Amino acid sequence: MSNDCLFCRIAAGEIPSEIVAEGEGWLAFRDIQPQAPVHLLVIPREHVESAAELDSVPALGGELLQAVARVATQEGLHDEGFRVVTNVGERAGQSVMHLHFHVLGGRRMHWPPG
Ligand code: AMP
């Protein structure tokens, strides 16, 4: 765990969050500034900077995507559809340098993203 990482501190319970589901290696909580009626973040408990590092962390990517599918179903998004986004690096819009998948749903999505 990194003491100066916001999401490590959320995972450790040091900073409050609205957790909706959790597993051994991950947790899902509501984004503090939701961009859709449902906006969750799925993060690993261990500190991994971004999806660019997943190649060197065996099995974690699959576990997190399974968690994404689980929480999307739990939030009632399975049939209506949803969007999964992970920003990698500041240039792509990543503001918290701890891997997270955004799960967005509850409204129509547009493409291409900005
Ligand atoms: P990104 O910009 O892709 O790195 O996404 C970071 C996300 O974390 C943003 O959507 C923020 O609104 C969200 N966020 C920042 N601080 C918190 C917090 N304390 N609890 C929940 N979500 C947060």
Summarize pLDDT for 42-96 with one digit per residue, the tens: 999 999 999 999 999 999 999 999 999 999 999 999 999 999 999 999 999 999 9
Give the per-residue pLDDT at 24.
96
Q: Which of 39, 114, 10 is nearest to 1 (CA)?
A: 10
Domain membership of residue 96 as a residue range = 6-105
Q: What is the pLDDT of residue 89?
A: 98
In CATH, what number is assigned to the domain containing residue 69? 3.30.428.10
Number of domains within the chain: 1
Q: Assess whether pLDDT exceeds 80 at residue 3.
A: no
pTM for the whole structure: 0.98
pLDDT band at 2 (very low <50, low <70, confident <90, very high): confident
Q: Is residue 33 part of a domain?
A: yes
Whether 19 maps to a domain, the answer reads yes
Q: What is the CA(31)–ligand 1 centre distance, in A?
A: 6
Sheet bearing 19-22, strands edge to edge: 19-22, 26-30, 38-44, 101-105, 83-85
Q: Report whether residue 50 contacts ligand 1, using a CB cutoff of 6 Å.
A: no
Q: Determine, yes or no, domain membership for 17.
A: yes
Residues acting as catalytic residues: 100
Q: Which residue's CA lies nearest to atom 17 of ligand 1? A: 32
* pLDDT value, residue 107: 97
Ligand 1 atom at minimal distance to the Cα of residue 93: 2
The pairs formed by 93-97 with CB atoms below 8 angstroms and a separation of 24 or more are 94/50, 96/5, 96/6, 96/7, 97/5, 97/49, 97/50
